[in-house]
Amino acid sequence: MKNPFTSIRLFYKEMMAELKKASWPSKTELRDSTFVVLIATAILGSFIALTDFSLMNGVELLTSWVR
């Protein structure tokens, strides 16, 4: 049976080697990307809220005509 600690050590060693190869963003790039994501989330959330409100009122209007 293979020693599980050997496998874990090998995994950790390979993981650290791969993480060193990765290109990490600078603080400025990270800040700018975060700002873009927050703005996009706010715009998408507003669009979904407006669409939901409009559809809800439209359905209520249509169902009030049926009564």
pTM exceeding 0.85: no
* 5 occurs within a structural domain: no
* 10 occurs within a structural domain: no
* Joined tokens for residue 22: 């990765």
* 19 occurs within a structural domain: no
Range of the domain at 38: 24-67
Q: Structural domain tally of the chain?
A: 1
Sign of the CA dihedral 16, 17, 18, 20?
positive
CA distances from 13 to 2, 17, 18 (A): 18, 6, 9
Q: What pLDDT, in 10s, does the model give residues 2-57?
A: 788 888 999 999 999 999 999 999 999 999 999 999 999 999 999 999 999 999 99
* 62 occurs within a structural domain: yes
